[in-house]
Structure 1
Amino acid sequence: MTRTEIEEKVKAFLIDDLEIEEENIFPEALLKEDMGIDSLDYVDIVVIVEKNFGFKIKAQDMAKVKTLAQFYDYIETQIA
């Protein structure tokens, strides 16, 4: 899976499942501050990522992820 495909899948579930406005979705966006992702959203993200990308997110790894670009990087390293 290419980086572009990862970004497209993530963008789709952020808009469709978490109802985040498209203008708030950009690589430098802070997950909590800019996108408004809260602890309940993280639970949804874990389930969605497992379904779409086939791996389980580790809480200690996600604690280090602050921006959307870092989230893309994390997914990319897990599926490589």
Structure 2
Amino acid sequence: MDKASVYQKINEILVDEFEVDEQIISPEASLKESLDLDSLDYVDLVVIIESNFGVKLAEADFEGVVTFQDFYNIVEQRMTARN
């Protein structure tokens, strides 16, 4: 799966599962502020990402995540490490 496909799939998940307005999703936007998710929503997000991309995410993975691009990068890194 190429980068564009990863980004598109993540965005689709956010729109479909979390009712996020697609217009606010951009690589440089703040993930936390834009999504306004509570801690349970983050757990759901991790589970959905793991099941859709076949990766494992740990709490430590999110320490440096500020923007959507950071989140995309983490998912990509886990996918690359898996292969």
TM-score (norm 2): 0.89
Aligned: 1:78 with 2:78: yes
RMSD: 1.0
CA displacement at 1:39 relative to structure 2: 1.4
Mapped to 1, the partners of 2:74 and 2:9 lie a distance apart of: 14
Aligned residue pairs, count: 80
Identity of aligned residues (%): 43
Q: Secondary structure at the match of 2:33?
A: coil
**Which residue of structure 2 lines up, in the alignment, with residue 14 of structure 1?**
14
Give the letter aligned to residue 62 of structure 2: M
Are 2:29 and 2:68, in contact at CA under 8 Å, matched by a contact in 1? yes
**Which residue of structure 2 lines up, in the alignment, with residue 64 of structure 1?**
64
Contiguous gaps of at least 5 residues in structure 1: none
For residues 4-62 of structure 1, give each alpha carbon's deviation from its aligned partner in whole angstroms, at most 9, with x where no partner exists: 01001101000000110111111111111123233122111111111111112100111
Mapped to 1, the partners of 2:5 and 2:18 lie a distance apart of: 19
**Which residue of structure 1 lines up, in the alignment, with residue 42 of structure 2?**
42
Mapped to 2, the partners of 1:72 and 1:32 lie a distance apart of: 14
The structure where helix makes up a greater share of residues is 2
